[in-house]
Every structure is written in structure tokens, then in C-alpha cells.
Amino acid sequence: MSDYQVVGKSVRRMDTIAKATGQVLYTADLSRPGMLFGKILYSNRAHARILNIDTRPAEALPGVRAVITGTQAPNSLYGIYIRDRLIFATDQVRFIGEPVAAVAATSQAAAAEATRLIRVDYEDLSPLFSLEEAIAPNAPILHPHLVEYGSIYPYIRYGNVCLDAQLNMGDIEQGFADADYIFEDSYHTAPTHQAPLEPHACLAEIDDNGRTVVSTGTQQISVLHTELALALDLPLTDIRVVPVCLGGGFGGRLGTHFEHICALLAQAAQRPVKIILTRAEVFTTTAGRAPYTIRMKVGVKKDGTITAKDTDVLVDAGAYADQTPGTATHAITVAQGPYSIPNCHARARVVYTNNPNWGCMRGYGAQEIAFATESIMDTVAHKLGMDPVDFRLVNLSHEGEISLSTQPLRCVTIRETMEAAIKASGYREKKGRMGPNRGIGVANLFHATGYLSSSATIRVNEDATITIISGVTEVGPGSQTVLRQIVAEVLGVAVECVRIAVVDSDSAPYETGSIASRTVYDAGNAVRLATEEVRKKMVNIAASRLKCTAEDIAVEGGWFFQFTNPDNRISFKDLIGIAIYVTGGPLLGSASWLAAGPFPEPVGEGYGQGPMGTFLFGTHVAEVEVDPETGKTRILHITACHDVGKAIYPAGVLGQIEGGVVQGIGAGLFEEMCLQDGRVVNPSFVDYRMLTALDTPPITALYIERPDPTGSFGAKGLGEPPIIPPAPAIANAIFDATGVQVNEIPITAERLFYALSLKKISPTAPATQANKTIRKSDHR
Amino acid sequence: MEKEITLQVNAKSFSVDVGSGELLVDVLRDKLGLTGTKKGCGTGDCGACTVLLDGKPVNSCLVLAVSVEGKQIETIESLGDTNHLHPLQQSFIDNGAIQCGYCSPGFLITAKALLDENPNPTEAEIRAAVAGNLCRCTGYATIIRAISAAASLTTEVKSE
């Protein structure tokens, strides 16, 4: 693929100098004349009726300019999937960390003091902290109006279950009847937090036309805009969202969690208001990754062929649905894994509790499912006496087969990524020869992207530079650079000539945003199509000037020329002049994109996810050493191979893999939001353990390129994939090292020590409480 | 209670009124407009607010402004500007060590302190030096490579 001039080259990013010199402004760095500081008062009860809120002492404090509660906020329900909440709790609070009131004052100290002076009288209600309690028949109902709530899809909902969705392929009962053995187990994944280094911040102000202007770092301008309009009960034209440089996203800057409060304070005070959340507030109030409980059952033949797989996912939504319905439906979409399974069924239920309001994080639903799938694959291989790699190899998905979400799988590269990772890691040589307390484990990746809308406009400027008008924000990995490369390649110009416009919600066309591994694929396709449209216009002008047909025109190095007679040519710049002054008018191209494909056919209503544009594959190999005295796991090496379709910006690809693997190790070994009666008890970087530079092992990052014809220059997506396989690969390596499987992540030293101790006492005992003894099938 | 103090920041003198409990990071950012120093946690856990105090890296969110009168303070703004990048800044850019960029000023300042004291650090020494700085994007590999590359570059220049 060396035909490309710009695609496939690690070109220079435009944003790194300002970031390296400290000149770039993040939201907290913004200031306005007369600016006030906002502070939010959060509920300290998990479930309680609000009897009274007395704001008078706060209002009397010097420097306080506005105090607001639910009575001053619009009575308009909002929510991305299910419209189930108001900006402030009014009659009752449902989690510790739910906004109850807010203050704007002339200093941060005054705002903080004022929130402390607000007196809220609560009457405690019985809380629900566990999924079992919440789905029990007589459980208190947390949302009595659940079925009346608006939602983007007609989800099946009842009791405390806000979504109940199923996918089915083949005959699951027959599949288990055909099996020689059946294995069943339960898995649990802990709630985690995106924990971007930049604490969430927002600046809201009222402009000269009375519009509310919200400046903040976001992964999705358009969706934040829509959500704000819904929550504030204003038309979209009365709100302007201005994206500010974002200090990390990872799924944490979707929709709104406090920006609407900042807007209300600015409206109330008629002054600019800035809110910067404390790190503890970020951890407790901004919707981390939801905890999953997954029951999985696999039927196999003696030769290792899988005949059936059944998956039952229970998701703790916390107090409000937020992003959890999307993660749950995605989880069942990929529940079969990258394996060919004729009879497959998956069900997901999302359940309200009084735990914190959970959302989504990088690898939403897919990371959780992959932990279960890749763990049970090793369980089965072990019981069959097969090598885990060989067992996977006999069951891999094939090109063109229909997935559980009733879509044909295209560009299936799992065999290639497995072979590359196995070879690079030296798995075959190392397996069984790692030495005492050491082990090696494998995990595969099955994920999908290419969904939800994008649109873009390309403007060819008078001096032959190009401006991309797109709502894609730069979360960090270099997505905007990729868009510039796509445009430069299509128009045959240098990448330095292509810049991204500074946009806001007024100027950017609708863009779902930098989420769900979709930017390069979806936004990239919108940008490519818009560029192709403008190129077509230019080619037509060139053809008419050069007196040949459009098919005869080639574009290269800033020239449009007749393919058969390269001397018959016109420069890019002259052509723009002709367009502006002679024929056709200024050159613009616009395009909209939404991945096409057969729509999924779920079992009944309640699934709601559209077709996926492209499927993502990868394989990781983990090597570990376990200290049997303490249960501490040390990662010796990770080999990570991903199929990216086409690496448009190779430096970005490697950066994504290395960074994602480290987050994946965090999920596997350390990261957990610890809850006690609905309260996050470790809301700090000291107690929420992320990897430091001392904890990261050597990582071999590899990628393969099998171009997907539906992506720009064949590119798929890579935002989330690298975070997905590390946890199960590590768990499988620990299994190899110790003979103990731990079915709960993170596998902290305490959890592993406990599991190892149980094994010492009783070698046949299950490793964790959730772990049920594997049983032989009765069906034989 | 506010008191006027004189701070030596990036080789310039600033007279500024500060409260007794005011933190250096807030004075730098809010009163001197030096917003290159970032605040990631406010509790000394993430290193984003690292500045040099008489050449030593400190978390400026754990330092009272009134306690550093007379000391030399260096922030990211002193390292290099767009037209004169410090070798470390150039190396971070060239090695893909900057993604979202929020942790970058803290890492750069910590790395400068390391190279000032130890121009030829081993990888282990680099990792130990930046262990107090968190990065959520890169997984540290590119940052370690960038510091290592800047060190060899600086050493080469010196030995010429």
C-alpha cells in the first residue's frame, strides 16, 4: 500500500507544541471578567425523601450571587437512552453524589462555604445496593414512572429493570443437547472510572443575544448540545456548546453530568460561572464504568467444537440509566466472541440500584463480556485437556458467517491476529516452561464499531489550503490528524495544507463524536465522502478547461492533469480561482454518514442497537509471575496484536495500543471503585490504583492491516480494543501459573491470595464465591 | 488575612497578595496567569502540578505560597517556547509522548529535574523519577522513550 502519499505516514500533529509548552488552554484555565465560581451540593444519602431544603444561610453569605435547587430548574427529564432524571433531585435522592443544590459566588472558597450552609432535611428510605435485592419480586421500586419515561428505543422495562434485551441464533436447547460437556460459571467485573487527568470543568455564560454558552471539554459536541437542550428545556438554537481542549476522555466526557448546573447558575446570576470538580467529585458523581455480573454457559463436543453458548448479563445501572443501556446491548452484540458457535443466546438486563450513577468507559460492554468469554474458554480447554490456543483455533469465526446480532461478519482476521501474537510472544516455546509461579495466557478480542451518525463539510480555501469543518474533538490519540490525512490523500495535497476548523455547536454539522472507537471509521467516512464530493466538482471543472472527460483527469502534487497527456494540466490554485470567479462558485463538499447493513433482528423488542459497520479483532498474550505468599501478580510481558484495517497514522496506532494495554492491566489487577452502602470509599488517585511508570511491563505492540473496503483507505477503529483483552489474558496466565481461576476483576493481591488459600485448604474448592463447580453434562 | 510576598518565578520577581492557606499552584495559575501548570487532584497524587523549587521537583498543590518566598520557582513556561523548544519538549513531540497533554507539563518539569542532576539516566532511573506523575493516555512507554532520547541528545551535544 505504498501508493499513498499521506496515509500510512506518521505526520506531525498540530496540537503538540502548544501542549508541550503549556500554552494550550483547558477549561479550568479559562477566565472571564466578573466570572463567578460554582459549587454543587450533592446528596450524602443513598436513598431518601427530601423533606426540606433551606438555602437562606447560604444566600446570606457575602459573595454569594446565586443559589439554586430543583425548584429553580426546568421540570424536564433528560437522559441519553432513557429520560429518567432531572438536573437536581427534587422529591427524593437516589444516590450519594446526586446534585441537590448549587451556588455561584465570587470566590471558590465562598461557593464551597455556601454549599456547606445549605440545610437539607432527609427522610431515609430503604436502599438497594445489590442486583439480587433490586430484581427480587418485592423490591422497592426506585423509579415508579419507569414505563412512562421517554427513551430512544422502546426498551422492555419492568420493576427496577430498565432494559431487558435478547439476541438468539440457532437453537440453544438443541445446541446444549448436542454437547458432550457443558460448563457454566459466573463472572464479575468491578466498577471502574475513566479517571482522565483533567478534572471535569465547565464555563457557562450568557451571550449578547441571551443565549447560554457552555464551554467545556467534551467527546461529543452534538450530543452534549442535545442533552443540555433537553435538561434545560430550551431549543437547540438557544444554547451554544464550545468545545475546549480535553484532557482525556475514555468514555467519561459523554453527555452532561454537571454542565447543565453550570448553565443554570450562569442564567440565575447573569454572570459567567466556572465549575471545576474536585478529584473526589469526579470519582463519585461523573458516571464510571458499571459493574457487570455475567453468567455464561458453554456446550462442547469431545473434539473441542463448541455447540452452544448462553450468556446472561446483569448490569448495575446505579440510580439512573445514563449510558448503561448502550453498554448492555453492545455486550450481548459481541457475546459470542470471535468464535463460530451455531447456537448462541444472550440476554442483558440493566437494573436500577442506589449505587452511584454509572455510565460507560472505553470498551463499553465488550471488556466485561471478553473477561467472561475468554476466561471460560480457558476453563473448557483445561477440562478437555487441550491447549487454550488450540481450543480457540478450532472454534474461530469465519468470513461471512452470521453473527449473534444477525449481521454477516466481514474482514474476519482473528486467525491472523492470533498467529501473529502467538509467534511474537513465543507462546509455543514458553508454554509449560515458564518456571515456578509463572504462567502465560491468551485472550482474543471481538468488538465492533461503525455506528451512529457523522457529517462533515470540506471547504477549499482561496489559497489552496483546506479546512475541515467537523464536530470531532481531539480527545488525545490524534484523531484530528487522521482526518487531515484522509483529506490530503483524497485531494492530493500536502497534509500541512489541511487544518481543522475551530468549531462549536453552531458551526459543526451533527457528529456523534469521539466515542466507541468510531472516529476514524465513521467521522473518517463522512470527511472522506465530503472530500470526494469537492474533488468531483474540481475534476469536472478541470475536465471542461482541459477539454477532456472527467474520467481522464488525475490529481497529484497540486495539479489536475489529463492522465494520457500530463502536460495538459491546471494547478489546484488556478482551479479554485476559476470556481470562485468564473464557474460554479466557492468549493464546498458536504457529506453525511451512517453505517449501512442489515438491521439486527433481536428476540422481541428492547435491543435497539443498529447495524455495526465493521468488526474488530485482536489477540493479547500475557506473561505473569505470582507471589504465592502475598497473591501479588507481576506482569512480565504483554504482546498485543490488533487488526486496524489500515494504519492511517501509525504513531497513533502504537500509542493507542500501548496506552490501552496499560489501562487494561489496571482493570485486570488494580482498578476498582470500592463501595460501602452506596458510597465510593476510594475517590482519590492514591486509593484508586492506576498504573505508574514503575508498574508497566514491556509491551510488544503489533498490528496487522487487512483493509476493510467500507472504511476510509480500509481503516477500522482502535480507540477501545487495546483495553479489552489484557484482563482475561492476565487471568488466564494466573490460571496457568497457579491452577487457580479467579472470576472477578480486578484480581488484586487480596483476591488472589484468598483464592490460593482456598485451594491449599481444599484443592477442588471453587476459587471464588461466584465460581460454581464445573459439571459434566447430563445430556449425554 | 492576606499578605504581600515576593515570588521568584522563571527568573522574574512578582509581588503578590496571598492568603496564609493559599497554595502555590493556585497562586501561579490564578494570580500570575501561569496556567501551564495543571491541577489534576489537588492532593499531591498525580504530579500534574509539578514545578521546580530551587531545582527540585515538587507538587505545587502541596506547597503553601507563603513558604516559598526567596526560592527560585520554575514552571513549564520557563522551559522553552514555540520558537525555542527545549530538547525535552522536542523529544516528547517527536516520540508521540503527548496525547491529551494534560500531564505533559508535569512530566516535562520532572524530567528536566532528572536530567539536570543525572544527564545519563538508565530506564529504571527514568521510571523511578517519573513514578509520581500519572498519565492516563500513553501507558508511559513513549514518555520513557522521549526522556531517554532527550538525554542522549543532550549528552551528545555536551560531549561535542
Which of A29, A198, A696 minimises the CB distance to B140?
Answer: A696
Measure the CA–CA gap between A222 and A504, rounded to whole angstroms. 9
Interface test with chain B among A197, A275, A661, A663, by most B beta carbons within 10 Å? A197
> What is the mean pLDDT of the segment spanning A659-684?
98
One fold for A31-125+197-248+253-285 and A292-451+601-761: no
Measure the CA–CA gap between A175 and A163, rounded to whole angstroms. 27
Residue A168: enclosing H or E segment and its boundaries? Answer: strand A161-169
Is A197 an interface residue toward B (CB < 8 Å)? yes
Distances from the Cα of A513 to the Cα of A456, A498, A700, angstroms: 12, 20, 30
Cβ of A15 within 8 Å of Cβ of B104? The answer is no
- CATH (one of 3.30.70.270, 3.30.365.10, 3.40.50.2300, 3.30.450.20) for A292-451+601-761: 3.30.365.10
Q: How many CB contacts within 8 angstroms connect chain A with chain B?
A: 164
Q: What HEC string does A591-622 produce?
A: EEECCCCCCCCCCCCCCCCCCCCEEEEEEEEE
**Distance, in angstroms, between B58 CA and closest chain A CA?**
17
Please tell me whether residue B74 adopts helix, strand or coil conformation.
strand
State yes or no: ipTM above 0.90: yes
Chain A residues touching residue B102 (CB < 8 angstroms): 26, 196-198, 247-248
Cβ of A655 within 8 Å of Cβ of B48? The answer is no
Measure the CA–CA gap between A758 and A740, rounded to whole angstroms. 10
Please tell me whether residue A481 adopts helix, strand or coil conformation.
helix
Measure the CA–CA gap between A575 and A190, rounded to whole angstroms. 58
By CA distance, what is B39's nearest residue in A? Answer: A198
DSSP notation for B95-155: TT--SS-SSHHHHHHHHHHHHHH-SS--HHHHHHHTTT---SSS-SHHHHHHHHHHHHHHH
Residue B9: enclosing H or E segment and its boundaries? Answer: strand B2-9
Range B87-159: architecture per CATH = Orthogonal Bundle (1.10)
Q: Considering the domain A31-125+197-248+253-285 in this protein, what is its CATH number?
A: 3.90.1170.50
Is A244 an interface residue toward B (CB < 8 Å)? no
Please state which CATH class domain B2-78 belongs to: alpha beta
**Distance, in angstroms, between B133 CA and closest chain A CA?**
7
DSSP code of residue A12: P
Residue-level pLDDT at B158? 55
Residue-level pLDDT at B156? 66
Which of B45, B85, B126 minimises the CB distance to A684?
Answer: B45
Measure the CA–CA gap between A224 and A228, rounded to whole angstroms. 6
Tell me if the pTM is above 0.90: yes
**Distance, in angstroms, between B16 CA and closest chain A CA?**
17
Measure the CA–CA gap between A626 and A734, rounded to whole angstroms. 7
Residue A733: enclosing H or E segment and its boundaries? Answer: helix A726-738
Chain B residues touching residue A22 (CB < 8 angstroms): 34-37, 75-77, 79, 104-105
Total residue length of chain A = 780
> Radius of gyration of chain A from Cα atoms?
27
DSSP code of residue A763: T
Cβ of B89 within 8 Å of Cβ of A21? The answer is yes
**Distance, in angstroms, between A520 CA and closest chain B CA?**
16
Is A598 within 8 Å of A406 (Cβ atoms)?
yes
Residue-level pLDDT at B157? 60
Is A282 an interface residue toward B (CB < 8 Å)? no
Instruction: Band the pLDDT of A1: cuts 50, 70, 90.
Output: very low
Would the pLDDT of A516 be above 60? yes
Which of A15, A21, A693 minimises the CB distance to B80?
Answer: A21
Residues A632-646 have pLDDT tens digits of 999 999 999 999 999
Chain B residues touching residue A690 (CB < 8 angstroms): 134, 136
Is A250 an interface residue toward B (CB < 8 Å)? yes
Cβ of A247 within 8 Å of Cβ of B101? The answer is yes
**Distance, in angstroms, between A16 CA and closest chain B CA?**
6
Residue written as grid cell 491529551 = B100
Name the A residues in 460-479 with CB < 8 Å from any B CB: 475-478
**Distance, in angstroms, between B35 CA and closest chain A CA?**
6
Instruction: Band the pLDDT of A207: cuts 50, 70, 90.
Output: very high
Residue-level pLDDT at A769? 40
* Strand-pair partners of A64: A105
Interface test with chain A among B76, B82, B98, B126, by most A beta carbons within 10 Å? B98
Interface test with chain A among B60, B137, B145, B148, by most A beta carbons within 10 Å? B137
Name the A residues in 2-31 with CB < 8 Å from any B CB: 10, 12-13, 15-26, 28-29
Cβ of B139 within 8 Å of Cβ of A16? The answer is no
DSSP notation for A327-351: HHHHHHHTTT-SB--SEEEEEEEEE
Output A440 or A768, whichever has higher pLDDT.
A440
Residues 6+ apart with CB under 8 A from A709: none
Would the pLDDT of A765 be above 70? no
Would the pLDDT of A153 be above 80? yes
Name the A residues in 678-697 with CB < 8 Å from any B CB: 684-686, 690-694, 696
Measure the CA–CA gap between A103 and A613, rounded to whole angstroms. 45
Would the pLDDT of A771 be above 50? no
Residues 6+ apart with CB under 8 A from B76: A21, A22, B36, B37, B105, B108, B109
Cβ of B35 within 8 Å of Cβ of A655? The answer is no
Report domain extents, chain B.
2-78, 87-159
Measure the CA–CA gap between A43 and A99, rounded to whole angstroms. 6
Chain A residues touching residue B20 (CB < 8 angstroms): none
By CA distance, what is B130's nearest residue in A? Answer: A693
Total residue length of chain B = 160
Q: Report the percent of chain A where pLDDT is more than 90.
A: 94
Starting at the edge strand found earlier in the chain, the sheet holding A292-300 runs: A161-169, A343-352, A306-318, A292-300, A181-189, A744-745
Q: Show the DSSP H helices in A342-466 as ranges.
A: 366-384, 388-393, 414-425, 427-430
Residues A104-121 have pLDDT tens digits of 999 999 999 999 999 999
Measure the CA–CA gap between A516 and A450, rounded to whole angstroms. 9
**Distance, in angstroms, between A457 CA and closest chain B CA?**
25
Instruction: Band the pLDDT of A250: cuts 50, 70, 90.
Output: very high
Distances from the Cα of A742 to the Cα of A130, A380, A550, A749, angstroms: 21, 15, 63, 11
Measure the CA–CA gap between A446 and A617, rounded to whole angstroms. 5
**Distance, in angstroms, between B69 CA and closest chain A CA?**
24
Report the candidate in A254, A252, A244, A243 with the shortest Cα–Cα distance to residue A197.
A252
Maximum distance among all alpha carbons in chain A? 88
> What is the mean pLDDT of the segment spanning A168-188?
97
Residue-level pLDDT at A727? 98
Residue-level pLDDT at A607? 87
Residue-level pLDDT at A606? 80
Measure the CA–CA gap between A286 and A502, rounded to whole angstroms. 27
Residue-level pLDDT at A772? 37
Residues A559-572 have pLDDT tens digits of 999 999 999 999 99
Pairing mode, strands A498-500 and A466-470: parallel
Residue B11 class from Cβ within 10 Å (0-12 exposed, 13-18 middle, 19+ buried)?
exposed
Cell representation of residue A645 = 484495517
Residue A153 class from Cβ within 10 Å (0-12 exposed, 13-18 middle, 19+ buried)?
middle
Is A286 within 8 Å of A322 (Cβ atoms)?
no
Would the pLDDT of A780 be above 70? no
Is A305 within 8 Å of A390 (Cβ atoms)?
no
Q: What HEC string does A105-137 produce?
A: ECCHHHHHHHHHHCEEEEEECCCCCCHHHHHCC
Residue-level pLDDT at B153? 81
Asked which of A151-155, A237-241, B156-160 is least confident by mean pLDDT, the reply is B156-160
Cell representation of residue A443 = 485472550
Residue-level pLDDT at A23? 97
By CA distance, what is B95's nearest residue in A? Answer: A651
Which fold, A16-22+452-593?
Aldehyde Oxidoreductase; domain 4 (3.30.365)
pLDDT along chain B (160 residues), means of 10: 94 96 97 98 98 98 97 97 96 98 98 97 98 98 98 69
Give all strands (DSSP E) within A529-610, no chain letters.
553-556, 559-562, 565-571, 588-593
Q: Report the percent of chain A where pLDDT is more than 70.
A: 98
Torsion angle, CA of A47/A48/A50/A54, rounded to 10 degrees?
-90
Residue-level pLDDT at A770? 39
Name the A residues in 614-673 with CB < 8 Å from any B CB: 651-652, 654-655, 658-663
Asked which of A373-382, A400-409, A436-445 is least confident by mean pLDDT, the reply is A400-409
When the pLDDT of each residue in chain A is averaged and rounded to a whole number, the result is 95
Would the pLDDT of A773 be above 70? no
Would the pLDDT of A774 be above 60? no
**Distance, in angstroms, between A654 CA and closest chain B CA?**
9
Report domain extents, chain A.
16-22+452-593, 31-125+197-248+253-285, 292-451+601-761
Count of alpha carbons within 13 angstroms of residue B146, beta-carbon side: 28
Chain A residues touching residue B48 (CB < 8 angstroms): 197
